[in-house]
Amino acid sequence: MSSIDVNTLSESMRHFGTADYTVFVAMLLFSSLVGLYFGYKDHKTSKENKRNGIDDDTANYLVGGRNMQVIPVALSLVASFVSGITLLGTSTEIYLYGSQYSIFLIAIVIAAFIVHHTIIPVLHELEITSTYQYLEARFNRELRLYGSISYMMIQMMWLPIIIYVPALAFNQTTGVNIHIITPISMFICIVYTSIGGIKAVIWTDVLQITLMYGTLTLIAVKGTIAIGGLEVLIERNIKGERFEPVIFDLDPTIRHSFWTLVVGGSIWYLNINGINQSMVQRYLSLRTIKRAQIGAALFSAGVMLMISLCIYNGFVLFAMYHDCDPLKTKLAKAKDQLLPLLAIETLKDFPGLTGVFVAGVFSAALSSASTGLNSMAAVILVDFCGHFNLSKTQTAVILRGTVIVLGVIAVLLVYVVERLGTVLQLAMIIPSATNGPLLGVFFIGSLIPWIGGKATLWGVITGAVTMTSIIVKAQIESMRGKIKFPLKPVFTDGCTYNFTATNITSEVVETGSKHIYHMSYLYYTIFGTILVIIVSSLLSLVFGFQDPRKVDRRLVAPFMRKYIEFENQNVRNENLEYEATKKNLKIENFTTRQDFEKADEIDELKDFREKFQLPSDVIYFIGNSLGPCAVNTQEIISKFITDNWIKNSSSAEFHQTPLKVGEKIGKIIGAEKDETIVCDSTSVNIFKALGTALKIQKLKNPNRRVILLEKQNFPSDNYIVQGLVNFLSAENYKIEKFEDEKELEKILSTEITVLLLSHVSYRTGKLFDMKIITKMAHDFGVLIIWDLCHSVGAVPINLTESNVDFAVGCTYKYLNCGPGAPAFFYVNKRHQNVVWQPLAGWYGHEEPFKMKSNYEPARNIQQFLTGTGEIFHMSIVENSIEILLKADIKKMRKKSLLLGDLFINLLNEKCSSLKLLTPLEHEKRGSHLSFEHENAYNISVMINKRGICGNFRFPNILRFAMTSLYLRFVDIWDTVEIISDIVNNFEIYKNLAEKL
């Protein structure tokens, strides 16, 4: 044995030279410059946006304007997950405990599959910023606060560990005190995170993950060469028992077995990958669900590669020190200094490479720390300050102040972490007390919709308290030496330096009875998850179960939605029955007029006919053009004049009318509160919607210049678009058109900025699938405007469920509000405070009655008002909407489809020369039927003279609206009789008309 002692050897190995410092400082400097760059760039963009009435700073800071690229985000996710804990801890795990941990790679695949198909579709579709916004939407605010507070506590325990680990590596290689380097590294992290936001975090992560991969690969290659090659590595690890068979024992107290790693590990990783704010925030920075899923898949693949490299380096580590354990000799003073020691040993002859290693470890720490700080800023702003009406300055102070304050606290907490044990296990145990129960809440939310908020709240509290007691007890017993796990053998017979041997306990699990706190730490998360589900289910017996039909379907996992009949959902692919068919009056049994009369007797909607003024000698089929007048309309107008004009002329009350009436229309179209107003005409609202959408896209996707239209849009819709494009000729927008869904799917691309189409074609009556087409558009980052004129009040609509951006519609068709009635305008809340709408006016001002000289847009749907509304007519609109709200839209839809089926069948039997243009399939059919005939105009005139009020559209189309509130079944029989008589004897009637 050499005369050199271990302390002298340790000092001699610290040779962090000029080249090493250069590499290390360059990494820190680059990270700072990235933050400064994005901070400067965003500041310039913000000033430009302010001049243009755009306010998107918060979304830009927290989620990159939801327009980040997949590969940088995926690399950032890997960098954030890995951290120094994985880099150092995983290799140490293999060195001390053997190869069993490598089975964890299977768990990553399983968890990634679950995240891909359940969590990402739900959270991304909601377009939230904080993960915990989901909990309030699904349950209540208490659970949202529980989730937010839990996350903040966990992150503040996690952050000091993250920055402590690379400090160990730096201390091992340079001798610099841990408490000198941690404040410096955190200062760098605070600078680029607070200034540059999520963009700076992501792009520094790209550099840092590159360094990490390079570092691990470098050690793997140089280490393998240093020990004599792969064959020597395998031989030494077999001899040292590091390669071991898979343990299939079901004993839950075994630290690492196939079951603890696959079952427990997959749920642990699911929690980290799926509901952790740090990860979810990055998924939400990607524009579409598909991109987020691709990003998540690349992330998991990257993590698997990283962990595989760490595992391999664990084998290299043992092969290097197979006969002289650095822990026993105290050459490494802590377990997590083993890999830095290996790096020094293998890279010492190459100037700068040790610096690359240390920079790589620090990169891992900085990426995780910056992500944590940015995510906590999001939680503080959205979950704790979201209900305040914050100014732009206040928002900026909160976001950046949070990063600074929490970063400083994390540095101080390093003193606590320094006195704790093995890093890898510690890092996985700390969050489990609350993460497991919180994952249980998300499972309940997305998979068990009949469990409500109160039961879940008490369930998660019970779970958290129970898991905390189990984990605290386990840690106490561990410190007392009563919970131990077997270490692999280590040897010192090959050491070439003097040392005083340290007794590393040959850890053996204590014999005797085992308790619940003896379970493997990997089971903590799944145990907490299952406990919450069980307790919440039992408490539902006390508090009552929730009606799953009332849950917003977007909050439920996609594969579960088909098993629940949600309220207010679009009717698709159903076996549509109406009460008439339930009474054995099936379509094939409607053969005589008496059959149709019998159906009217049991019609559930028959009483609504009395609410409309319908001439006794007219059958009214033009609800798709102009609905009939309500019987109490004159009374409503007279009352309005008396109560609101003669007695009370307060314009402030009138100012609220567009919002109040819009709220009622919102119930019909499936909008959330404060998303719908009644104002202007459909054409004007299309102008406002398109102008707003183009401005938003110019902010997020400035190179897009194509506006996509359906060829058979109502002509005025397309005229408005053409007019605006002409007005904005300097912007070089161009228009493209498509025919149907298949062509739309082919033509959609990232060049398209806005898509405008009608929900139901005015010409053919074809119904487009709103949810599918909206998703298709969003997958390419396209904003969509729906024209609901020919569907609202006739077809079930749920704009919220379909995630629609903008929608417009008239009120004089199926809503029966009279000629010239004001239209309605829907704007999804996520678009309301981003830019100014193009027709800014005093009713859209934040404080209209203060008559300020400069425009300040209201921060809600009110911004989309312009001037004084048609207040008289709005009283008629409100009255007509009240009538419609008393009816069941699903029953209306079913009756409408049945009326249409009967009309088509009878007409085919008695008059086959009329060609049906409307799709036969219920899911593709609106509420009016269109027929083509060469003599369509003359036929329309003739049937009109005989009391059939249908309408004609150029050049040869007859249209009949199957409006279920006032049409009777017998009207179908009588109408077909008249039409068939005229068409079959057309020449006779034509000649007779000419003679007259």
- Active-site residues: which are they? 714, 787, 812-813, 959
Q: Which of 691, 947, 732 is nearest to 837 (CA)?
A: 691
Q: What is the C-alpha separation between 591 and 602, in angstroms, rounded?
A: 17
Q: What is the C-alpha separation between 146 and 134, in angstroms, rounded?
A: 12
Antiparallel, parallel or unpaired: β 619-620 and 948-949: parallel
Q: What is the C-alpha separation between 948 and 978, in angstroms, rounded?
A: 8
Q: What is the C-alpha separation between 971 and 968, in angstroms, rounded?
A: 5
Q: Which of 349, 23, 402 is nearest to 193 (CA)?
A: 402
Q: What is the C-alpha separation between 192 and 924, in angstroms, rounded?
A: 52
**CB environment 566-594: b (16+ within 10 A), e (fewer):** bebbbbeeeebebbbbeeebeeeebeeee
Q: What would you measure as the largest C-alpha separation in the chain, in angstroms?
A: 131
Q: What is the C-alpha separation between 860 and 825, in angstroms, rounded?
A: 13
Q: What is the C-alpha separation between 528 and 433, in angstroms, rounded?
A: 7
Given a contact cutoff of 8 angstroms between Cβ atoms, the answer to whether 286 and 295 are in contact is yes
Task: Specify which residues 68 forms β-bridges with.
Answer: 286
Q: Which of 403, 379, 339 is nearest to 39 (CA)?
A: 403
Alpha helices in 175-288 (DSSP H): 178-227, 230-239, 258-259, 265-270, 277-283
Reduced to 3 states (helix: H, G, I; strand: E, B; else coil), residue 743 is helix
Write out the two tokens for 73: 């985000």
Annotate 429-494 with DSSP letters as a single string.
Answer: HTTHHHHHHHHHHHHHHHH-TTS-HHHHHHHHHHHHHHHHHHHHHHHHHHHTT-S--PPPP---TT
Task: Specify which residues 709 forms β-bridges with.
Answer: 737, 756
Given a contact cutoff of 8 angstroms between Cβ atoms, the answer to whether 451 and 540 are in contact is yes
Alpha helices in 562-603 (DSSP H): 579-582, 593-601
Given a contact cutoff of 8 angstroms between Cβ atoms, the answer to whether 96 and 424 are in contact is no
Residue 854 φ/ψ, nearest 5 degrees: -110, 145
Q: What is the C-alpha separation between 819 and 814, in angstroms, rounded?
A: 12
Residue matched to tokens 């997959």: 266
- Count other C-beta atoms under 10 Å from residue 724's C-beta: 18
Q: What is the C-alpha separation between 697 and 993, in angstroms, rounded?
A: 57
Q: Which of 635, 678, 633, 675 is nearest to 657 (CA)?
A: 678
Annotate 153-187 with DSSP letters as a single string.
Answer: HHHHHHHHHHHHHHHHHHHHHH---HHHHHHHHHH
- Count other C-beta atoms under 10 Å from residue 374's C-beta: 28
Annotate 643-693 with DSSP letters as a single string.
Answer: IIIIS---HHHHHHHHHHHHHHHHHHHTPPTTSEEE-S-HHHHHHHHHHHH
Q: What is the C-alpha separation between 236 and 543, in angstroms, rounded?
A: 61
Given a contact cutoff of 8 angstroms between Cβ atoms, the answer to whether 840 and 688 are in contact is no
Judged on CB neighbours under 10 Å (0-12, 13-18, 19+), 500 is: exposed
Task: Write the DSSP symbol of residue 322.
Answer: T
Reduced to 3 states (helix: H, G, I; strand: E, B; else coil), residue 809 is strand
